[in-house]
């Protein structure tokens, strides 16, 4: 029997209080990784992680650099070594038309969905580079490629995640740190449940698969990117478990 794909690896899943992050954390743990989940205080306890492998939690505010660095330091202590794999899955989704959008709504989405990705990546990067191995997996969205009516701030942030991923990948791939984006299509989660039914009905009709995905269908893409040798040739890529919404 072959060893689990992530046997002995140390992983941090940011945004693990959400369904996609929780599914990734569970799959990583099942596959042998020591996992720390980070999210806002009070959001993690509501998730049940059934994996039998080691699983720890820390609080984080991804919009705050001090909080981000403290969470990475806490995760490092819990894991008994530096973070080798990080998944940036923290995000918010609020539906509003551009002409009705407040600056505060725009800025909050950019701060969490884009700036938070930057802050976490920056906080974990140096030890990865020193070790000559690391995986940074950012969760974007297919709307970062397509745009989205009444979701311009979200689409803009996710497009930024894709551009940030490509740029960072070019900086660090030669030093053994691989950076990639997962850009899911619509996924049935609490976040998408807040989008109006008319939008969802129209989107389902546009999808070649005819349905939204589930978090468990997204998590295996993160496992592929985190694994060795499975993820070894992915550099600055955008992988799309998106029900056929985007076909590059």
CB 111 within 8 A of CB 209: no
Instruction: Report how far residue 220's alpha carbon sits from residue 56's, in angstroms, rounded to the nearest whole number.
Output: 21
Q: How far is CA 167 from the centre of its chain?
A: 17
Q: How many alpha carbons lie under 13 Å from residue 9 in its C-beta half-sphere?
A: 27
CB 51 within 8 A of CB 30: yes
Indicate the SS3 state at residue 139: strand
Indicate the SS3 state at residue 137: strand
Active site residue 234: no
**Nearest to 71, CA basis, from 54, 88, 46:** 88
The helix or strand, by DSSP H or E, that contains position 180, with its residue range, turns out to be: strand 177-182
Which among 28, 55, 154, 164 is annotated as catalytic?
154
Please identify which residue in the block is written with the tokens 């939008």.
199
The tokens for 125 are: 């990067």
Instruction: Report how far residue 32's alpha carbon sits from residue 51's, in angstroms, rounded to the nearest whole number.
Output: 10
**Nearest to 182, CA basis, from 237, 124, 108:** 237
**Nearest to 25, CA basis, from 68, 82, 88:** 88
Active site amino acids: 154
């Amino acid at each position: 029997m072959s060893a689990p794909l992530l046997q002995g690896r140390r992983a941090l899943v940011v945004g693990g209080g959400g369904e996609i992050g929780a599914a990734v954390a569970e799959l990583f743990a099942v596959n042998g990784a020591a996992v720390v989940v980070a999210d806002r205080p009070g959001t993690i306890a509501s998730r049940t992680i059934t994996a039998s492998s080691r699983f720890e939690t820390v609080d984080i505010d991804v919009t705050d650099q001090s909080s981000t660095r403290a969470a990475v330091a806490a995760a490092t202590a819990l894991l008994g070594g530096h973070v080798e794999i990080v998944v940036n899955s923290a995000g918010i989704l609020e539906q509003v038309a551009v002409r009705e959008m407040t600056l505060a709504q725009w800025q909050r989405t950019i701060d969490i969905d884009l700036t938070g990705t930057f802050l976490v990546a920056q906080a974990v990067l140096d030890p990865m580079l020193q070790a000559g191995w690391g995986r940074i997996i950012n969760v974007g969205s297919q709307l970062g490629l397509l745009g989205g009516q009444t979701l311009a701030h979200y689409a803009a942030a996710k497009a930024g995640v894709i551009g940030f991923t490509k740029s960072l990948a070019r900086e660090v791939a030669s030093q053994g740190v691989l950076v990639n984006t997962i850009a899911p299509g619509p996924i049935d989660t609490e976040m998408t449940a807040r989008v109006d039914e008319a939008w969802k009905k129209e989107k389902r009709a546009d999808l070649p698969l005819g349905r939204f995905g589930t978090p468990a269908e997204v998590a295996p893409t993160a496992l592929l990117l985190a694994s060795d040798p499975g993820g070894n040739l992915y550099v600055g890529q955008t992988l799309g478990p998106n029900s056929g919404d985007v076909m590059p």
